[in-house]
Amino acid sequence: DVSGMMANYGEIDGICVGANPKYARTLLRDTMKFRGMLTSDGAAIMKMYNYFHLAPTYKEAGLLAKKGGLDTEIPIGNAYRQLPDYVREGKLDEALLDESVRRVLTIKFEYGLFEHPYVDEGKVQAAMTTPQKAELSRAIAEKSITLLKNDGVLPLKKGLKLAVVGPHADNLRYPISGYTYPAYIEMMKAGASDSSSVTFNGMADEAAANKQENGFGAANPFAATLAMLSPEEQAALSDLPTVLAHMGARSLRDVLSDRFAVTYAEGCKIIGSDTAGFDAAVEAAREADVIVAAMGGNCGWVNVTGGEGKDRSSLDLPGVQQQLLEALCATGKPVVLVLYGPGVFALPWAAEHTAAMVQAFMPGAEAGRVVADVLDGTVNPGGHLTFTIPHHIGQIPLVYNHRMGSGYNTARDASANMIFSGGYVDNTDRPLFPFGHGLSYTTFEVEDFALSADTLPTDGSIQARCRITNTGSRPGDQVLQLYYHFSGAHVIRPCMQLVGFVRVSLAPGESKQVAFTLQAAQLGYYNEEMAFVVEPGPAELSLGTSSADLCGTRAFQITGAPVGLLGRRSYACEVSVQ
């Protein structure tokens, strides 16, 4: 069972979630039967006061949160430490404190924190740097890499001369996400030098608010932490490349240089307007057979393009990276664009002008090795997109499972006519890359798609079967995806919904039988009476390798009386591969 949950910062219907008993108590405790601890997000109670103006004082925001259902306040707790005042004044029932204390103590007893309250620091490094964990990190990164486009330049052939260009090409930090040791060190050092502009959604914020209201507050927590370290330890914090190299990290340039003749040029930084490095990058590109452009964003809290509280207003490449990409393509040499970082980039120009595009996301400390393995074919990419990549920012929000009658047209809801043509007068309404998209260095054939029955009882299950064959010359993975559509509701339903998927590994020429067992309990929705049910009516299942690349569609009928699913719905489609 889950021991603790965190209420988000936001509001629903004008009340912050953490102060809203409709959600923090009735839904969570009564309906969902949650018995663990509910904590605030970092400085969330302070934000109820000075962001949302839900209460006239920080102290009173704590009262609203406690009545609403929050058990604890993090990270400092300057509002909750004043709750006894309200108990003495008769404004807060002491039983509300008791319930939270009981939950916290229960968790501490269950986890043995009274017997062993502190971390054994001597075991931390050994536990975090095991070969098994490095291998797991590498495997996860390998499976997530997604090949978006390929005109045949990939995998790179032996003997090629490469120009490896871009801000990600020779950097160990950028492929590593936020909420990691490197990102935290950056945030701590920046916060120590200027805590007024760099915060961690909690510590410095809460101390500043407490000082404003009560005249006292904690010292800069970042500076205080650094002050506890020796000069040698502080110097080590400034040497992130050495720390990452010790963890086994190698840059893409470094790894590719072991396998190819490589000329490197950074070209530009991730953000900023400096184009002074363009000439060196273009010169390197002209001397190469293929250009590997390692571009995108980075994640954390300081000088980043994404992360917690770090949003973008554009889906273009940050800084001057687009200009650099165009200069590289202008050389006439094939360009392989490797995209890193959080979020999505809408890059129709790149999709038209590059030879290949690889979505690398945030591969972690093993990024250099993993991306190089994909580029040279050591690893055959098999990742598929878990989101839709738009063609342009004006399409946002753009999702594959838009409701019938909205979003871009599909085979099911194509209703275009001379007046209501759908889409945009100045651009396409289609995605650049659809949900579920992903290419491979081999080919696959999906055959014999069939259902086990033409009816599905509202309390039963149905099976969808197919055969998949690797028809190419390389071992590879394909992700089969099962989509569902229902036409029998009196509320508007999505044009399609992913209900099952499986990643199938196949040797050249190998075939496997795949069976999806779909429970009716997975198909619930809120009907016109706001009851969460599965109801009878006509339905379809489609099989594909993306939401836009469907191998076939089979109709069936859901039969029987409506069945209420609240509290007993199914979330996973069982899949067997033989």
pLDDT the model gives residue 303: 87
Instruction: Give 133-176+249-375's CATH code, choosing from 3.20.20.80, 3.30.420.40, 3.40.50.410, 3.40.50.1700.
Output: 3.40.50.1700
Q: Where are the domains of the chain?
A: 4-110, 133-176+249-375, 181-244, 444-577
Nearest CA to 319 out of 338, 340, 345, 297 is that of 297
Any idea what the Cα angle at residue 516 is, between residues 546 and 563, rounded to 5°?
A: 105
Q: Mind listing the pLDDT tens digit for each residue in 302-338?
A: 889 999 888 999 999 999 999 999 999 999 999 999 9
pLDDT the model gives residue 212: 58
Q: Which of the pair, 181 or 71, is modelled with greater confidence?
A: 71
Residue 105 has pLDDT above 60, yes or no: yes
pLDDT the model gives residue 213: 57
Percent of the chain with pLDDT over 70: 93
pLDDT the model gives residue 223: 76
Residue 206 has pLDDT above 60, yes or no: no
Q: Do 351 and 149 form a contact (C-beta atoms < 8 A)?
A: yes
Residues 419-442, mean pLDDT to the nearest whole number: 87
Burial of 56 (0-12, 13-18, 19+ CB in 10 A): exposed
In the DSSP assignment, the letter for residue 156 is P
Residue 350 has pLDDT above 60, yes or no: yes
Q: Do 173 and 182 form a contact (C-beta atoms < 8 A)?
A: yes
Residues 363-375, mean pLDDT to the nearest whole number: 96
401: CB partners within 8 A, 6+ apart = 435, 494, 495, 496, 497, 498, 547
pLDDT the model gives residue 560: 97
Residue 106 has pLDDT above 60, yes or no: yes
* Rg, the chain, Cα only: 27
373: CB partners within 8 A, 6+ apart = 142, 379
Residues 505-527, mean pLDDT to the nearest whole number: 97
Residue 529 has pLDDT above 80, yes or no: yes
50: CB partners within 8 A, 6+ apart = 58, 209
Q: How confident is the model at residue 169 (pLDDT cuts 50, 70, 90)?
A: very high
Residue 150 has pLDDT above 90, yes or no: yes
Average pLDDT for the chain: 91
- Which residues, listed in sequence order, are joined to residue 251 by a DSSP beta bridge? none
Q: Mind listing the pLDDT tens digit for each residue in 531-562?
A: 999 999 999 999 999 999 999 999 999 999 99
Residue 399 has pLDDT above 90, yes or no: yes
- Which of these ranges, 309-313, 422-426, 446-450, has the smallest mean pLDDT? 422-426
In the DSSP assignment, the letter for residue 172 is S
Residue 428 has pLDDT above 90, yes or no: no
- β-strands 290-296, 335-340 pairing: parallel
Residue 171 has pLDDT above 90, yes or no: yes
Residue 209 has pLDDT above 70, yes or no: no
Which contacts (CB < 8 Å, 24+ apart) does range 497-501 have?
497/401, 498/400, 498/401, 498/435, 498/436, 498/547, 499/523, 499/541, 499/573, 500/464, 500/573, 500/575, 501/436, 501/573, 501/575
- Which of these ranges, 77-86, 150-159, 208-217, has the smallest mean pLDDT? 208-217
- Distance from CA of residue 458 to its chain's centroid? 33
pTM, two decimal places: 0.91
Q: Do 479 and 501 form a contact (C-beta atoms < 8 A)?
A: yes
pLDDT the model gives residue 538: 97
pLDDT the model gives residue 295: 98
Residues 38-45, mean pLDDT to the nearest whole number: 94
Q: Mind listing the pLDDT tens digit for each residue in 225-278?
A: 778 888 888 777 777 788 788 777 899 999 999 999 999 999 999 999 999 999
263: CB partners within 8 A, 6+ apart = 161, 162, 163, 164, 284, 287, 288
pLDDT the model gives residue 567: 83
CATH of domain 444-577: 2.60.40.10
- Which residues, listed in sequence order, are joined to residue 38 by a DSSP beta bridge? 5
Q: Do 327 and 283 form a contact (C-beta atoms < 8 A)?
A: no
pLDDT the model gives residue 204: 55
520 vs 532: CA distance, rounded Å = 13
pLDDT the model gives residue 419: 60
Residue 216 has pLDDT above 70, yes or no: no
- Distance from CA of residue 303 to its chain's centroid? 20
Q: How confident is the model at residue 420 (pLDDT cuts 50, 70, 90)?
A: low
Q: Which of the pair, 495 or 420, is modelled with greater confidence?
A: 495
Percent of the chain with pLDDT over 90: 76
Residues 398-417, mean pLDDT to the nearest whole number: 73
Q: Do 522 and 497 form a contact (C-beta atoms < 8 A)?
A: no
Residue 25: what residue type?
Answer: R
Residue 477 has pLDDT above 70, yes or no: yes
